[in-house]
Amino acid sequence: MEEVVEVKVSARPRETQSSLQGISTPSEDGVKSPFATRFLSTPLASPMKKAIENMQGYLGEVGRFTKLDPQDDWLPITESRKGNAYYAAFHVLSSGIGFQALVLPLAFTTLGWTWGVICLCVAFTWQLYTLWLLIQLHESDSGLRHSRYLRLAMAAFGEKMGKLLALFPIMYLSGGTCVTLIMIGAGTMKIFFQMVFGTPSPLTTIEWYLVFTCTAILLAQLPNLNSIAGVSLIGAITAVSYCVLICIVSVVQGRLHHVSYEPRRGHSESEASMILSAWNALGIIAFAFRGHNLVLEIQGTMPSDAKQPSRLAMWKGVMFAYIVIALCLFPLAIGGYWAYGNLIPTNGGMLGALQKYHEHDTSKFIIALISLLVVINSLSSFQIYAMPVFDNLEFRYTSKMNRPCPRWLRIAFRGLFGCLAFFIAVALPFLPSLAGLIGGVALPITLAYPCFMWIQIKKPQKCSTNWYINWTLGVVGMILSVLVVIGAIWGIVAQGIEIHFFNPR
């Protein structure tokens, strides 16, 4: 009797483990417990074992895809994970089409027809590939989701090196874009007022900056990235609309008299100067395809599980968005260069050309409508580009205090950023002329870093095709970034820009 009792006691823990795993395990001396013997003799044993095994596998997969940082629930980018492919398309369109598309024909004035089209096609294909890499890297094998570009860079390159490489370009791109949006949006507000009322504006340019900034700050009170999906939809619709309208007006009005398609050169311009000008033009093209610093953040708003990982819905949204982006950018760049050639204004691009050459032979309603669409799109784009800055500010607070950011402090953070962007816009009103320089600084974020991060995280087999492709694109992207920055600086020095601090015009 004692021996039987001893067997029961020693087998009980193994029974418990066996019942959880759905596998009958004998005791150390080879004797099964009476409970296990009776259970295995029932007709329900096999289906029950299979059900438990399936449930375990499912829970394991779900756990792998839902391994989230609890702090994410407090931050504006990830506190709502109810996004979908439609929301992703809205966000990508709103951030992917904007004022940068209007300056694309300027690149053609230096590169010419052949090289302009080739560079535009290569840049579009290249950045679409790196976009796919980022979407695939969003979810790691351990289950951790990288919902911010900076976090992915830190996971790939290490904490210190990741911050060193990515923090400044990301914040520079987000903040610089918001500042430029204030300038363009406020300046277009002024034009819209004059077109509608037919009188000079009663407000100065700085006062229009203030009107735009206050409106943007009010919109910025929406709590998180998922909540601005409707704003991004409006931004996407307005961006597509004014791109189509500007392209149609320019093509319908026909080419200007004495238009030239020869690459824009100075009388005494050397071969070295021509090369530097070409690098600056590549920066303008790169600037048109910025937005990769928002892709992981957009994907972070989506739910994810084993059957429907977020990368599937994200890629569907991105593919739809980029088909629309291609249908807008390519006709705008090619049609704009065909209509204006080297006569396109260096300040304002297509919008400046429309106002300069067609103000008197085009309906005022059309020009006013285009101006209104540009203003609405600028306000919408401001929200999505400012979100990484808002998220970073709140991350500092929640990391230190270990609690969610209170509502009043969130309002203060967003108001403070708006005021800082307004101050920079007033202090540096020539910033839109630095599109090539901004594109060069942000170029590694778009074309180089994703390739290196793929190699570091996925570790493809050395000397394989995948390994060679990503190393080549990454190295070429970094070299191209340096060349573009050099070309942009040369363009500023040689051609000159009208520098006027604290004097917007």
Residue 23 Rama label (left phi>0; alpha psi -120 to 50; beta): beta
pLDDT digits (tens, 9 = 90+) for 263-315: 766 545 567 777 777 887 887 887 787 777 789 999 989 988 878 888 999 99
Domains defined for the chain, CATH in brackets: 81-494 (1.10.4160.10)
Q: Are 329 and 291 in contact (CB under 8 A)?
A: no
- What pLDDT shows up at residue 435? 60
**CA-CA-CA-CA dihedral for 440, 345, 358, 350, to nearest 10:** -10
Q: CA-CA distance, 219 to 438, in Å (whole number)?
A: 26
Per-residue pLDDT averaged across 329-346, rounded? 89
Q: Is the pLDDT of residue 149 over 70?
A: yes
| Lowest mean pLDDT segment, chosen from 159-173, 251-265, 266-280, 355-369 | 266-280
Beta bridge partners, 67, equal 144
8 Å CB contact between 140 and 146: yes
Residues 6 or more apart whose CB falls under 8 angstroms from that of 442 comprise: 169, 172, 173, 286, 287, 290, 293
pLDDT at site 54: 53
Using the predicted structure, report yes or no on whether residue 27 has a pLDDT greater than 70: no
Looking at every residue in the chain, the average pLDDT score rounds to: 81
* Among the ranges given (16-30, 172-186, 369-383, 414-428), the one the predictor scored with the smallest mean pLDDT: 16-30
145: helix, coil or strand?
strand
What is the distance between the alpha carbons of residues 115 and 391, in angstroms, rounded to a whole number? 40
CA 20/CA 41 separation, integer angstroms: 18
State the Cα–Cα distance between residues 211 and 109, nearest whole angstrom.
35
Question: Which tokens sit at 188?
Answer: 């277009």
Residue appearing with tokens 């600037």: 287
Query: Would the CA dihedral through 325, 328, 331, 333 be positive or negative?
Result: negative
Non-local (6+) Cβ contacts of 88 within 8 A are: 298, 299, 301, 302, 313, 314, 316, 317, 318, 321
Choose among 351, 361, 326, 394: nearest CA to 247: 351
Report the alpha-carbon distance of residue 377 to residue 184 in Å, rounded: 11
What is the model's pLDDT at position 495? 59
For residue 371, what are the CA distances in angstroms to 178, 194, 364, 450, 469?
18, 11, 10, 36, 43
Beta bridge partners of 144: 67
Looking at residue 215, what is its pLDDT? 95
Rounded distance between C-alpha atoms, residue 377 and residue 274, angstroms? 35
The per-residue pLDDT for 378 is 93
Q: Which residues pair with 139 in a beta bridge?
A: 145
Give the contacts of 395 (CB within 8 A, at least 6 positions apart).
Answer: 71, 75
